[in-house]
Each structure stands twice: as structure tokens, then as C-alpha cells.
Amino acid sequence: EPEVTQTPSHQVTQMGQEVILRCVPISNHLYFYWYRQILGQKVEFLVSFYNNEISEKSEIFDDQFSVERPDGSNFTLKIRSTKLEDSAMYFCASSAGRAVNSPLHFGNGTRLTVT
């Protein structure tokens, strides 16, 4: 069964450093998303991406964050200058469409630890 893959599974970085989290969505999917989950808290939406541009972003997704689809398969999340509060699990997700019968499929996440 096709799946969303994310790398690395765990990233440790120092405060102020840049990190890039990588994702390979399911191949025929058109909509891509990043969500995050701070330990013990809800999964929360960061950004959605379609047709090579951001469709929607949350208030969390400030100027320190950016997303890119550099080629036909990868989808990346960059955090320009990490803060301690960026420590979380980051999940990439994709869907075939926007209809209700096209649910999100999530990857296994990247655990980001900012020290």
C-alpha cells in the first residue's frame, strides 16, 4: 500500500539553526500538508500546499517557516531559525483531492528536538 515517507525520523538541532524536514507524499496525490504535535498536545495544522503554492497556513506558520516542492516527488518544510518551542513531532500528509472521500494520509513523522 502506498505510504507517505518522512526523513529523518529524528533531528536534533541547536537553537537558531536552520532545519529542513523532508517528505515524499503518495505519488498520485495532489495536496500536501504539514502538521505538528507537541508532546502531550493535539495534532495541529501548519500549512497546506497545492499546485506549487501555499493554499492555507495557520498562525503558527510564521516567517520562520517555509515549504517547497523542489521536484516531482519531495515536499520539504524549512524552519529558518529554530526556537526551543519548535520541538515537536512534525507530520507530513497528503491527499488525492479536497473531497470528503479523499482523507489525509500521514507519514510517521520527524521528531525535532531543539536544544
In angstroms, what is the minimal distance from the CB of 81 to another protein?
Answer: 26
Binding residue for another protein, selected from 31, 34, 61, 75, defined by CB under 8 A: 31
Q: Does 106 sit near another protein (CB under 8 A)?
A: yes
User: Measuring CA to CA, which residue among 107, 33, 22, 111 is closest to residue 73?
Assistant: 22
Binding residue for another protein, selected from 42, 59, 70, 72, defined by CB under 8 A: 42
The 8-class DSSP code of residue 61 comes to: -
Q: Return the bridge partners of 101, or none.
A: none
Q: What are phi and psi of 4, to 5 degrees?
A: -90, 130
Contact 87, 38 (CB under 8 A): yes
Q: How far, in Å, CA of 58 to CA of 115, rounded?
A: 25
Q: Does 77 sit near another protein (CB under 8 A)?
A: no
Candidates 12-20, 63-71, 73-81, 107-115: pick the segment binding another protein (CB under 8 A): 107-115
Residue 36 or 79 having the CB closest to another protein? 36
Cell of 40: 502531550
Residues at the contact surface with another protein, assessed by CB under 8 A: 4, 6, 31, 33, 35, 41-45, 48, 50, 55-56, 58, 91, 93, 95, 98, 100-109, 111
